[in-house]
Amino acid sequence: MVDAWMETCLVAIGKIGYPDVQFAALTETVDIDIGEKGIEGLPLTSGGRVTKFNAQGDHSVTFEAYPLEAGNGRGFFDLVNSPDLIVSSTTTATTSNKLTDTNVNFTTLGVAAGDKIINTTDNTSAIVSAVDSATALSISSDIMASGEKYLLFDTPLRVTNDRNRDKYRVLILWTDKAAILAGEAIANTYNALRIGLVEGYFTSVKPSFTDGIFKFTVVYKTTAFDKSASGNAMVESCAAAGGSDALPAIAQYTTINKFG
């Protein structure tokens, strides 16, 4: 039995239509606001009161994040602006130290040695060593197998501010399982608590050096409900009780999938 969730959690940030990018976080640097369901008391001439319900407030998450790069899973400036992403796709074959994808043309895309790959299926990364053909790359580490999702970024990475606003989903997971993905399935023999917010936007990424280390304070906001009145916040848990007491895997965020 877990008495309290402390110290660390896993975070997945997913742009709509793209695989999640995975982070680990210190729990003390994550603040979550699920939105207040406020009320007001309206006075009656008798001296009594009737309750007026206010619309539920917006949801938000604030992170303290420590960047290693400008973006692409190791930095955060690209959450409010457009990153130099070459392609998001899925591998079609398994070859040692290779990335093979017959659904794209790496030559036409201008992929070059030094470009960066993030395997978003198992949260690993590698560098392009050589462009073998239009559909195959040699890579610095043996991280890709058939059917795994990846992001491919241009280097050197540069992110410039723009007027685009991209929708994102945020998942935060605490568990006693040795998990690597915030959206992965948790079996009925483990304890876990997962919070998800969706249909929102990153509104602020502020760099500072106030604690003697370079960090970003990152703010994500979403409304309580979408246009069709479907909820944008989810909290789920399991307590190692066996049977059906398990958390399902959460699929990629798309226009038709929030937390499915």
Question: Is residue 197 predicted with pLDDT exceeding 60?
Answer: yes
Give the per-residue pLDDT at 159.
Answer: 84
Element (H, E) at 130: strand 124-131
Write down the pLDDT at residue 1. Answer: 57
**pLDDT above 80 (res 259):** yes
Please state the separation of Cα 149 from the chain's center in Å.
14
Average pLDDT for 219-238: 97
pLDDT (average), residues 208-215: 89
Q: Give the amino acid at 9.
A: C
Q: How confident is the model at residue 202 (pLDDT cuts 50, 70, 90)?
A: very high
Distance CA 223, CA 16 (A): 16
Domains and CATH numbers, the chain: 9-35+55-75+163-239 (2.30.110), 85-153 (2.40.30)
Q: How confident is the model at residue 89 (pLDDT cuts 50, 70, 90)?
A: very high
Predicted structure pTM score: 0.84
Of all residues in the chain, what percent carry a pLDDT higher than 90?
73
The confidence band for 82, taking pLDDT boundaries of 50, 70 and 90, is confident
> What's the pLDDT band for 80 if we cut at 50, 70, 90?
confident
- For the record, the structure tokens of 47 come out as 């001296």
Distance from C-alpha of 178 to C-alpha of 106, rounded to nearest angstrom: 35
What's the pLDDT band for 73 if we cut at 50, 70, 90?
A: low
Stretch among 140-149, 150-159, 218-227, 231-240 having the lowest mean pLDDT: 150-159
- Distance in angstroms (rounded) separating the CA atoms of residues 226 and 50: 29
